[in-house]
Structure formats: C-alpha cells, structure tokens
Amino acid sequence: MPTRRFERAQPVFRWILVAILGLHAAAAFTQAILAGAYLSGSLDAMTMHRLLGGMLTLITMAQAVPALLFWYPGRGPWWPLAVTVVLFPVEGMQVGFGYARDLGLHIPLGVAIIVTVTTMFIWSLRYQPEPRTRP
C-alpha cells in the first residue's frame, strides 16, 4: 500500500522541513542584524539586507514542499503547510514595505516573521509523532 510507504518516510520529510526551517530562521535573524548594521552606518549591509529579503521568499517557497509532504502523505500535522502558505505573501509584503521605506510596517512585520519562523523551527525540533495503532 503506497500510503504506508510514505507514512514510514515521515521522519525524512520532517528532517528536511527542520533543515529548511533552520535556514529560514537563520536568514530572518540575519536580516535583523543587517538592518542594525545599516543603522550603524554600513551601506553594504543594506545591499545584503535587500538581497537576503528576496532570498527569504525563495526559502519560503522551498519550505512549502516538505511541509506538504510531511502533512500528506506523511500524515504529520497540517498547520506547518498552512503557516508556510500564509508566510509567502506576508514576506512579499515585507519586501514591498522595505522598498517603500515604510518602516512603521516593515519593522513590526519583520519581528512577526522572525517569531513565527523561529517558533516553527523550535516546534519542528521537538515534534513527536503520535503512536499509530494497527487496524
């Protein structure tokens, strides 16, 4: 039965998701560091901040694949996929607010993204599948 084969692959899907979430969280934290460096006078930091902002949307798109496979057919929880789907347009808006220099929205939204992705990463490290009973 194909579903059982994918169910046994759930740990693989999970660890791929963990790796991408770790990369996502590290990139989001790096954004805050680069913004601080820019405010301290480094113009190069803003160039890196801009490039990494675009990469974050690509990371989110890549994150959707293991989140989907972890949920179905891997039988993991559905919410990591839902949060990832919501994060994609939110991070797109974040890039737009940055280019528009609307810091009143850009900074709080950036904090919300960091908190969300970090929470997902911590959850993914602590995740314990529920034991399945045999029919």
Count Cβ atoms below 10 Å from residue 110 Cβ, excluding itself: 20
pLDDT of residue 135: 59
**Residue 50 near residue 98 (C-beta atoms within 8 A):** yes
pTM above 0.85, yes or no: yes
pLDDT in tens, the chain (135 residues): 455 666 677 889 999 999 999 999 999 999 999 999 999 999 999 999 999 999 999 999 999 999 999 999 888 999 999 999 999 999 999 999 999 999 999 999 999 999 999 999 999 999 998 776 655
pLDDT of residue 129: 84
pLDDT of residue 107: 96
Q: What is the pLDDT of residues 17-47, one digit of tens each?
A: 999 999 999 999 999 999 999 999 999 999 9
- Determine the Cα–Cα distance for residues 108 and 75; give it in Å rounded to an integer: 34
Cα distance from N-terminal residue to C-terminal residue, the chain: 14
